[in-house]
Amino acid sequence: MSPPTQKNLITPLQESKKQLLLEEVFNRDKKWDSNNYNSKKIDKLIGEMIALQNLPFNFVEGLGFRSIESNSYKRISTTI
């Protein structure tokens, strides 16, 4: 593998400014299925957070958690 050159390095700013493909535009707001790998991973992390911090299970029903979920993880549909 060749070392990276200035030509093939993409900065996060450049990545965020790139034009989306038509397919990406249609799929970016599509929710993940509950069997999706990423959705399962996030569900597991939320469960671990609840267990490790001794939070009540209804923590995920709270306004604060729902606000974070809706603004941060546009593609997940939490099934906890």
pLDDT at 75: 58
Asked if residue 9 belongs to a domain, the reply is no
Output the six-digit token pair for 51.
Answer: 């267990």
pLDDT at 2: 53
Asked if residue 56 belongs to a domain, the reply is yes
Asked if residue 49 belongs to a domain, the reply is yes
Rounded (5°) CA angle 76-56-71: 30
pLDDT digits (tens, 9 = 90+) for 13-67: 777 777 777 777 776 667 777 788 877 888 888 889 999 999 998 888 888 888 8
pLDDT at 52: 94
User: CA–CA separation, 71 vs 41, rounded Å?
Assistant: 18
pLDDT at 41: 86
**With a threshold of 0.95, does the pTM exceed it?**
no
Q: Where in the sequence is the domain holding 36, given as residue range(s)?
A: 31-80
